[in-house]
Chains A and B, each alone.
Chain A
Amino acid sequence: MKNIIKAEFYKLKRIKSLHLVYLFPLLLIMVALYDFIRVAKNMDAQSDTTRFLLSHLFLGFFDFFTPFFIAILVFSIMQIEFKNKSWENLMLLTRSKRDIYFSKLLVVVSFSILYCVVTYIGFLVGRSFLSFLYPALSFGKNTYNPELLILFLRYTLVYSMLAILFLNIFLYIQNPIIALGSVFFVLVSSLIILKEKWAIYFPLTYSYKVSRKFGDLYFWNNVMVFSAIWMIIFIVLGYFVFVRFWNANTLDNS
């Protein structure tokens, strides 16, 4: 299994779209910094600058685009096998659907974690840059460092869960318009239902819900519990369906 996972990472070599894993969060941070610089003249030493940068300038874009970005990432990883019609070959080499499923799962979850880590570090670096640029503002006073760590850990759980959901879908769909189009549609729809009580049962709303809980120092809240439950359901159900119905031959010849 260890070698199969190694192989999964090795075959991602030179996949250009995977560079987005650090380019995309950096782009979002740069947009937030630019916005901050535009409005900084209206701020003083009493302003809660970290919270303003995070909640008003960064998380709006981040919450909306990240699930879609994770979908693109997972889709790109799955496309490697579809494009090369190599599912059957992979089956012949590994001889185990379990190994195929869990190695792919580990790859997509790793990329989601990497994405969150890069975003977290990028945000901290961006904030340091602003505190250097505006020493009179309150960046040094209200750092929210523990809260930020908890926030990004929560994002990591939510996006890993979403990555597993997308993996289970994109194992069977190779058409980008159908795959990414439907994700985009569901994502926009989840914005509409966000304020409903029952929205907690829809995993695609969790990205928005996480940011609304910024400030807690306790990791587990209802969104996190539901994320963990969904993650287990997606893994168990996805694995069962994969082992029972997935057919390499059909996919390669479709």
Chain B
Amino acid sequence: MNIISIKNLEFCYPHGKQILNGVTMNVKKNSIYGFIGANGAGKSTTIRVILGLLKSKMDAVHLFDKNPFSSKNSNIFKKIGFLIDKPVFYNHLTCEENLILLSNYYDFDKNSIKVALSTVGLLAQKKMIFHKCSTGMKQRLAIAKAIVHSPEVLILDEPFNGLDPEWTFEIRSRLKELNNQGMTIFYSSHLLGEMEKLVTDIGILKNGKIIIEAPITELFDAVTDIEVYIQFDTDFHLQSINFNSLDISIFEILPNNFVSFRIKNKNLLNELIVTLVEHNYTIKDIQILKPTLEDYFLKKAI
């Protein structure tokens, strides 16, 4: 079942340029969907259209297989937790009061506030006035706000903004836990390293269109290039070996007799090592760098 399903979504701001040119994407139930794209690609616009803040001319968005903008389905939005742009709260209220306020819009008991605050580590600071909170605390409270009513799906725009490494790790773990409990998570971020550790599926948006949508494992299987760091016990002399036949390029000579090689096909690694040994090089250490989401993104989306 698709939780979020978008088909040929087009959007253009009044008197502006076309932002979305037929976005088609499917977020499967219980997945963690990473939504990436360069600045201005249309990520935030897509999220705003999904949430109904921007109106698209076509009936392109379906949530839980229903049209959420039809008046009979308006309760669908109660199943969604969201964090868009930056944390929005009432500055004069405390962290706890800001969440109590939400209980008027969603149906949840007061105990859920305690649970949400402790999930993001703010239970001890619940009486703190919001405007006195640090940037990281505000961001964590925004995540608490998104999860306090136990939604079935979370839509998060840059959820790790302003978080320190400790809380980035913690929030990532909590999001994984929530996903294990059945929550579907859809999020966009520029922190591709973080995204790689969390997501199960990726959608890459370029020029208002989804150019790639796939499970993250399939994405990496498709990447054949690898980068290998080899440490020799002596200086490496580039001229001594002809690599052309191996389709290997020397990438960079590094300190401590390390050399990085970029190999077009990982099957060529054996041949590279054999060639080096044949040329009387003694290999002290080999480190293989796996392709990252960033590598993939830079290659495909820029």
Chain A residues near B (Cβ < 8 Å): 3-4, 6-7, 10-11, 13-15, 80, 83-86, 88-89, 91-96, 248-249
Known pairs A92-B51, A92-B82, A95-B77; A4 contacts B105 (CB<8 A): yes
Shortest beta-carbon distance from A116 to chain B in Å: 26
A83 touches B102 (CB 8 A): no
**12 A-B contacts, Cβ less than 8 Å apart?**
A7-B101, A10-B100, A11-B90, A13-B97, A14-B93, A80-B90, A84-B90, A88-B84, A92-B53, A94-B105, A95-B77, A249-B48
User: A9 — nearest CB in chain B belongs to which residue?
Assistant: B104
B93 touches A93 (CB 8 A): no
Contact with A along B81-96 (1 / 0, CB 8 A): 0101000111111000
Q: Known contacts A15-B92, A85-B88; can you find 9 more A-B pairs with CB under 8 A? A: A4-B105, A7-B104, A7-B105, A14-B92, A86-B90, A89-B88, A92-B53, A92-B77, A93-B102
- How many positions in chain B have a CB within 8 Å of any CB in the partner chain? 21
Cβ of B40 within 8 Å of any chain A Cβ, yes or no, is no
B93 touches A11 (CB 8 A): yes
Task: Find residues 149-163 in chain B having any chain A CB closer than 8 Å to their own CB.
Answer: none
A-B contact count (CB 8 A): 54
A88 touches B53 (CB 8 A): yes
Interface of A is mostly: helix
CB contact between B53 and one of A13, A84, A96, A248 (< 8 Å): that residue: A248
Q: A6 to chain B: which residues have CB within 8 Å? A: 104
CB contact between A3 and one of B53, B54, B105 (< 8 Å): that residue: B105
CB contact between A95 and one of B52, B91, B97 (< 8 Å): that residue: B52
User: A15 — nearest CB in chain B belongs to which residue?
Assistant: B92
Cβ of B287 within 8 Å of any chain A Cβ, yes or no, is no
User: A2 — nearest CB in chain B belongs to which residue?
Assistant: B104
Q: A86 to chain B: which residues have CB within 8 Å? A: 88-90
What is the bound-complex CA distance between A94 and B104, given in angstroms? 10
Q: B102 to chain A: which residues have CB within 8 Å? A: 93
A10 touches B101 (CB 8 A): yes
Task: Find residues 172-220 in chain B having any chain A CB closer than 8 Å to their own CB.
Answer: none
Q: A249 to chain B: which residues have CB within 8 Å? A: 48, 53-54
Shortest beta-carbon distance from B63 to chain A in Å: 13
Residue in B53, B54, B97, B100 whose Cβ sees the most chain A Cβ within 10 Å: B53
B100 touches A93 (CB 8 A): no
Known pairs A10-B100, A11-B101, A95-B74; A84 contacts B91 (CB<8 A): yes
CB-based closest 4 A-B pairs? A7-B104, A3-B104, A89-B88, A93-B105
Q: A15 to chain B: which residues have CB within 8 Å? A: 92
What is the bound-complex CA distance between A92 and B105, given in angstroms? 10
A10 touches B104 (CB 8 A): yes
Shortest beta-carbon distance from B12 to chain A in Å: 15
Contact with A along B32-60 (1 / 0, CB 8 A): 00000000000000001001111000000
